[in-house]
Chain A
Amino acid sequence: MTDTSDFVRIEHAQKSFGKLEVLKDISLTVERGQIVAIIGPSGSGKSTLLRAINDLDALTGGEIWLDGVQVNKTLPHRQYEKHINEMRQQIGMVFQHFNLFPHLTVRENVTMAPMLLKDLSKAEANKLAEEQLDHVGMLERIEYYPSQLSGGQKQRVAIARALAMKPKLMLFDEATSALDPELVDEVNQVMKKLAEDHMTMIIVTHEMDFAAAVCDRVLFMDQGVVVEEGPPEVVFKNPVKDRTREFLRKHIEGAK
């Protein structure tokens, strides 16, 4: 598939936890190289949507497509495992709480998956890890354990770990929410750099300024539906919907 207009395609995504309907018929496409921000109040289903894209939380209805391949195919368990592991190698994910592996050094955190899944030799994997860590400015901490790093440093390593798999798409779930304010910027800088490299990204965030600065499109979600979407200038400055306006007003007040 050479058409890039629907590099990521979400069709009628629906998700319930028991009786609770968290995602209600969400459809969305992301072009190759595009950067989409998802904003919305707590509990609106942002994380759930993001986690559905790599099937960490399986949808109860709808389809997810990446680069012409359906991610959440219906397959017998064994085949599905194989399929989803291949898909996930192409989808990097960064979590709010980093989730670095505490028993491994920074280097091992980054090299483990490429060595296991891409049959890289140790030397090749090391070279790859050094490149990626250099990219996020963490090369000098390569032999450290995660417990010896600050939150911002951990998050940068987590990004390098995801990038080492050479993903086609990166998902960020509030990557800076758990950080002290003074550490937020170093992570944002790394994400900006990725944007300059034209990485396709879907970013769940509470930082409107950052979203406005790097994103091509903004999605406002509330109660499991996309209330409004458009370029950041429009959504942030001149939202069409009252609910969006209300949310942004509260958010700006909250920030002060």
Chain B
Amino acid sequence: MDFELMLKVYPFFLEAAWLTILLSVLTAILGLTCGALGAAARLSRFRTLRFIGAAYVSVIRGTPALIQLFILYFGGPQIGIQLDAFEAGVIGLGVNAGAYMTETIRGAIITIDKGQGEAARTLGLSQWQAMYKVILPQSARLMIRPLGVNINALIKATALVAAISVVELTYTAQRYIGSTYKPFEMFLLAGILYMIIIYVAGRGIAWLDRKAQIT
């Protein structure tokens, strides 16, 4: 194990880690937004919207994220979408994560007992009031943990943007493996940083979950 080399290159990895974090945060925000919209569409009373929601989930979950990223980044210009690699990464990964989150959010909403919505409607609350006053507060507690699983997967999925040359952790590791021929050391450096990011995110989610369960 070449510790000297590891010490020498780790600042570059650290810098790359910040980009991975930024990517993760932006992707999570976009993913949650798409997930909320997707779930709303899937639960809508309009058939067309339900269909669009279902198609979104099925197509995105049925094809590789890498291909989605390539279509957006390399194919985008052909249909007038010009994005730099970072933008394409955030949008591609965010839309991808959103499909998984759609199912998480929808699942948490439909497991709430039907009687809750009925009781609210019986009092005269509108559909929307029943949703945000009665159903959502209850399902929010249920979805934090599974959304945490989605976010864990999403952090690891940010590695894909290495394939479109965004200088994040995996790309950096790959480059240094190529130049130093020390695959294990480079893997370890990047791996530890990934695990720190995932650990911190996991703690944050556990904290949120605990807070939500108390009340």
Q: Residue A69 at the B interface, CB < 8 A?
A: no
Determine the distance from Cα of A111 to Cα of B122 in the docked complex, in whole angstroms: 15
Q: Residue B15 at the A interface, CB < 8 A?
A: no
Stretch of B65-73, B129-137, B186-194 on the interface side: B129-137
Q: Residue A210 at the B interface, CB < 8 A?
A: no
| Least CB separation from B137: chain A residue | A103
Q: Is the interface of B mostly helix, strand, loop or mixed?
A: helix
| Least CB separation from A81: chain B residue | B126
Establish whether residues A54 and B133, one from each chain, have CB atoms under 8 Å apart when the complex forms: no
Establish whether residues B124 and A113, one from each chain, have CB atoms under 8 Å apart when the complex forms: yes
Q: Mark B31-68, 1 if CB is under 8 A from A, else 0.
A: 00000000000000000000000000000000000000
Contacts of A89 in B (CB 8 A): 123-124
Known: A97-B115, A103-B138. A85 touches B124 (CB 8 A): yes
B 105-155 contacts with A by CB, 8 A:
113, 115-116, 118-127, 129, 133-134, 137-138, 141
Q: Mark A55-96, 1 if CB is under 8 A from B, else 0.
A: 010000000000000000000000001000111110111010
Establish whether residues B119 and A101, one from each chain, have CB atoms under 8 Å apart when the complex forms: yes
Known: A103-B137, A112-B133. A88 touches B119 (CB 8 A): no
Contacts of B127 in A (CB 8 A): 81
Establish whether residues B125 and A116, one from each chain, have CB atoms under 8 Å apart when the complex forms: yes
Determine the distance from Cα of A231 to Cα of B64 in the docked complex, in whole angstroms: 70
Centre residue among A56, A113, A162 by max chain B CB count within 10 A: A113
Q: Residue B215 at the A interface, CB < 8 A?
A: yes
Establish whether residues B137 and A99, one from each chain, have CB atoms under 8 Å apart when the complex forms: no
Interface size class of A (residues with CB under 8 A): 20 to 34
Establish whether residues B118 and A56, one from each chain, have CB atoms under 8 Å apart when the complex forms: yes
Question: What is the minimal beta-carbon distance from B114 to any residue of chain A, in angstroms?
Answer: 9
Contacts of A162 in B (CB 8 A): 122-123
Question: What is the minimal beta-carbon distance from A226 to any residue of chain B, in angstroms?
Answer: 24
Contacts of B134 in A (CB 8 A): 101
Contacts of A99 in B (CB 8 A): 113, 115-116, 118-119
Q: Residue A161 at the B interface, CB < 8 A?
A: yes
Known: A99-B115, A101-B116, A102-B138. A54 touches B215 (CB 8 A): no
Establish whether residues B119 and A117, one from each chain, have CB atoms under 8 Å apart when the complex forms: no
Contacts of A92 in B (CB 8 A): 122
- Chain B residues in contact with chain A, CB under 8 A? 113, 115-116, 118-127, 129, 133-134, 137-138, 141, 215
- Chain A residues in contact with chain B, CB under 8 A? 54, 56, 81, 85-89, 91-93, 95, 97, 99-103, 112-113, 116-117, 158, 161-162, 165
